[in-house]
């Protein structure tokens, strides 16, 4: 029995006794396929991908100090083995992303847990494909939600539109995703907050989702902290 108790302690210490729970909830009218990518050195959760039908939810338990990003994929077609592709957010490896990132544009929920606070944000730096919001479930009730529940595809600037097979707008590119220039990507001579300023494209995102990251140096209004919380992540 002593050996069993020691083994249980080892398992708990490996996965973190103060793990957070992400509840992924689909409030879209169509099925979506959330994807999860850990940062370097972190474990892959749920094999990196899952299916959520309308109004379905799925709990995902994270180990201590986990960090990574979560996004929704749309227009996916997978076979019984999970092979296939998605219209937006595709990670190139089928249903289970297994650590791979998504193809922009995609709306991201980003987390760094227990550092020593939890840091979280919604990022549209790589563009937008669907509404996504974060609601902390902290005991104090003081942690801020990050809501991006506006459909930014509706009025996406013409030269930023990504269209699906039927011609509908399925995603909206960011300036960086569309043009790949230092000015829009905040690289090279624009790699600091003094020289990299909001653009007409980032301002479109900011007006629709004021608490989301709209470009690389949008920190002051877009990074949030909490302590010892679980998180509800709502799509649409």
Closest by alpha carbon to 27, among 69, 60, 56? 56
Instruction: Give per-residue pLDDT as tens, 10-49.
Output: 333 334 445 899 999 999 999 999 999 999 999 999 999 9
pLDDT at 4: 35
Q: What is the mean pLDDT of the chain?
A: 91
pLDDT of residue 18: 55
pLDDT reading at 176 higher than 50? yes
Q: What is the DSSP letter of 39?
A: P
Does position 140 have pLDDT exceeding 80, yes or no?
A: no
| Class of domain 18-152+209-235 as given by CATH | mainly beta
In the chain the first and final C-alpha atoms are separated, in Å, by 49
- The answer to whether 148 touches 131, Cβ cutoff 8 Å, is yes
What is the rounded average pLDDT of the residues 134-149? 90
pLDDT score of 158 more than 50: yes
103-139 tens-digit pLDDT: 999 999 999 999 999 999 999 999 999 999 999 997 7
User: What percent of the chain is predicted at pLDDT more than 70?
Assistant: 92
Q: What number is the average pLDDT over the span 193-204?
A: 93
| Residue recorded with tokens 């679980």 | 230
């Amino acid at each position: 029995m002593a050996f069993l108790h020691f083994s249980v302690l080892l398992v708990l210490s490996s996965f973190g006794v103060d793990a957070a729970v992400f509840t992924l909830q689909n409030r879209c009218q169509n099925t979506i396929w959330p994807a999860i990518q850990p940062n370097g050195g972190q474990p892959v959760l749920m094999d990196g991908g899952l299916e959520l039908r309308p109004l379905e939810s799925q709990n995902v338990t994270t180990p201590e100090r986990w960090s990574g990003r979560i996004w929704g994929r749309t227009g996916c077609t997978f076979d019984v083995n999970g092979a296939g592709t998605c219209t937006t957010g595709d990670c190139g490896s089928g249903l289970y992303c297994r650590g791979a990132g998504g193809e922009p544009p995609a709306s991201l929920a980003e987390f760094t847990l227990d550092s020593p606070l939890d840091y979280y944000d919604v990022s549209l730096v790589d563009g937008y494909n669907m509404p996504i919001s974060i609601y902390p479930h902290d005991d104090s009730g003081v942690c801020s939600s990050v809501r991006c529940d506006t459909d930014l595809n509706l009025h996406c600037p013409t030269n930023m539109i990504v269209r699906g097979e039927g011609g509908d707008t399925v995603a909206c590119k960011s300036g960086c995703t569309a043009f790949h220039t230092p000015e829009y990507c905040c690289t090279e001579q624009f790699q600091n907050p003094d020289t990299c300023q909001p653009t007409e494209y980032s301002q479109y995102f900011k007006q629709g989702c004021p608490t989301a990251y709209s470009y690389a140096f949008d920190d002051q209004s877009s990074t949030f902290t909490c302590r010892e919380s679980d998180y509800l992540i709502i799509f649409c």
